Homo-oligomer: A and B are copies of this chain.
Amino acid sequence: MPVTIRDVARASGVHISTVSRTFSAPHLVNPETRVRVLACAEDLGYRPNRAARALITGRTHNIGLIIADIANPFFPPLIKAAESQARHRDYHVFVADTNEDPTTEEELVHALAKQVDGVLLCSPRMSNSLIEQLSREVPLVVINRQVAGLPCVMMDVGQGARAAVEHLTGLGHRAIGLLGGPRGSWTNREIRRAAGAAARSGGAELTLLGPNPPTVAGGGAQADQVRRSGVTAVLAYNDLLAIGLIEGLDTLGVRVPQEISVVGIDDIALSRLTRPKLTTVATPTGAAGRSAVDMLLQQDTDTPRRGVARSTASGDRRTTAQLMLQTELVIRDSTGPAPAAGRPRAEAAGAGPGPHRLADPGCPSAATGEVVAS
């Protein structure tokens, strides 16, 4: 029932190879024939079968997008941007969810390898060496992680974490908690490193709390621990943890930011909508998705057709660009001055010091990319 190239050939009275050329190399076919063929194709509703085409060209015009957790609000904007960018370039996108499981990640790369021209690995939890190994099977672009020799798109969460900690020390906080994210997260390590350094130079002590699942529930579960720990401010691995923590603290009767300040990372849409509005580090997720697709398809264009060995990680690292996208601290209402001594407990409701607002850039301007390696 589906109409094939043969149907079009028959209808327009030419050989199938002419029809083929009409679509894949129009300049090689007589203009008159071309319009006739095109007309017949249009008529019959012919669409080339991409899978069949891929069999011989080695180009599927599909890409894979492997995501830790689609339901985590950090990812949808990235998925949306990546899909949009891919489609503009005439690519379709497989999306798969790993549930934060490294084994599933690996399995998915294998499973998708044959039907895609490349895979975007989003916040992978597997080891770097495994990623390198997989990149021998199918072109990879890694998002939110740095892997030597592979194209990567990162967000400068280190810079963001530093800015966040400096913001807190500037407000007088000297005991700061760091609500860690999941194991295996590159982002988590970067945050820890940068926050630690910033705390040291700011004369503050950093208390590590984690690892935690990067969810609202994970944040809520740490509320009691945070209260006991004696910190007056917390930087969380992501906004969900931060929001969960604020919820949990609220339940315990601890006020944010009067008693404890909380900073998130990501600036998901949700952050503007909670009370208090969340101070957070905005990460350019849309730009990351778009750039990753561009890098993948660029790489794909450069690569000679099929039958040729893939580049190895240690081998010819042509234009293995690594892109570091800027982040930006967005100060809202969940951070304020450190309480004078200890934490006041029984102030009249609503009479405490109002939230301290240095500035609220609102929607941060589009982050600019910076190539850190090539």
Contact = CB atoms under 8 A, between A and B. Distances in A.
Contacts of A60: 51
A150 interface: no
A80 B114 CA distance: 23
Contact of A71 (B76, B112, B274): B76
Interface stretch (A25-33, A86-94, A124-132, A314-322): A86-94
A57 to B, nearest CB: 12
Contacts of A308: 1
A21 interface: no
Nearest to A286: B71
Interface in A21-77: 45, 47, 49-52, 54-55, 60, 62, 65, 69-71, 73, 75-77
A92 B96 contact: yes
A310 interface: yes
A231 interface: no
Contact of A50 (B76, B114, B216, B270): B114
Given A51-B54, A110-B47, A275-B274, A95 B115 contact: no
Interface of A: 1-2, 45, 47, 49-52, 54-55, 60, 62, 65, 69-71, 73, 75-77, 79-80, 83-84, 87, 92-97, 110-115, 137, 216, 243, 247, 269-270, 273-275, 306-310, 349-350
Given A49-B55, A50-B114, A273-B273, 6 more contacts: A2-B306, A51-B60, A51-B114, A79-B95, A83-B95, A270-B270
